[in-house]
């Protein structure tokens, strides 16, 4: 049994119960975690961040519509995977990371729409910002007209 198969087996069992109990597996580099997660249908939605000896990355599963945070300890080789709240993940992602996530999720999420719009506006240049503001104002105006008709 290869290390990838062993990790995949441990992750398969652990991810089914991640909402109730964190998953811990002993493995080599973060690349193996990425490979195993991808094979199990989880997509990386953030860049790898480093805090001391810990590498972290958020993943999203389109089938279950769940987020997890994988933390890999370089010193010990342990990888902890915990369920993550959508709003927490969305707040932490950069605009380019949100654009990647946009291709994976149901964009009817109110939290996603709000945070994406805020970060899109913050990342926009002068002309793009004006166009976004104009589009936003048009939507507000249309909503006000619809409310008055009621």
Mean local confidence (pLDDT), 5-34: 78
| Count of the separate structural domains present in the chain | 1
Q: To which residue do tokens 């149901």 refer? A: 106
Host domain of residue 61: 3-149
Q: How high is the pLDDT of residue 45? A: 93
Helix H or strand E segment including 66 = strand 66-73
pLDDT the model gives residue 3: 62
Which of 66, 45, 65 lies closest to 57 in space, CA to CA?
45
pLDDT in tens, 106-145: 666 666 777 778 888 888 888 888 888 888 778 777 777 7
Q: What is the DSSP secondary structure assignment for residue 7, as one 8-state letter? A: H
Distance CA 145, CA 58 (A): 41
Query: What six digits make up the tokens of 83?
Result: 């369920």
**How many Å apart are CA 91 and CA 47, to the nearest integer?**
14
pLDDT tens for each residue of 57-68: 999 988 888 999
Q: How confident is the model at residue 101 (pLDDT cuts 50, 70, 90)?
A: confident
């Amino acid at each position: 049994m290869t290390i990838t198969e062993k990790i995949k087996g441990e992750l398969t069992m652990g991810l089914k119960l991640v909402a109730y109990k964190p998953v811990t597996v002993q493995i080599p580099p973060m690349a193996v975690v990425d490979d195993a997660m991808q094979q199990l249908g989880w997509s990386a939605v953030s860049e790898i961040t480093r805090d001391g000896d810990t590498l972290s990355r958020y993943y999203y599963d389109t089938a279950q519509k769940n987020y997890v945070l994988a933390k890999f300890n370089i010193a010990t080789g342990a990888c902890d995977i915990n369920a993550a709240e959508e709003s927490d993940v969305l707040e932490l992602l950069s605009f380019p990371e949100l654009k990647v996530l946009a291709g994976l999720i149901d964009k009817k999420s109110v939290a996603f729409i709000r945070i994406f719009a805020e970060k899109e506006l913050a990342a926009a240049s002068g002309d793009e910002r004006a166009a976004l503001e104009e589009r936003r104002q048009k939507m507000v105006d249309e909503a006000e007209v619809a409310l008055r008709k009621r």
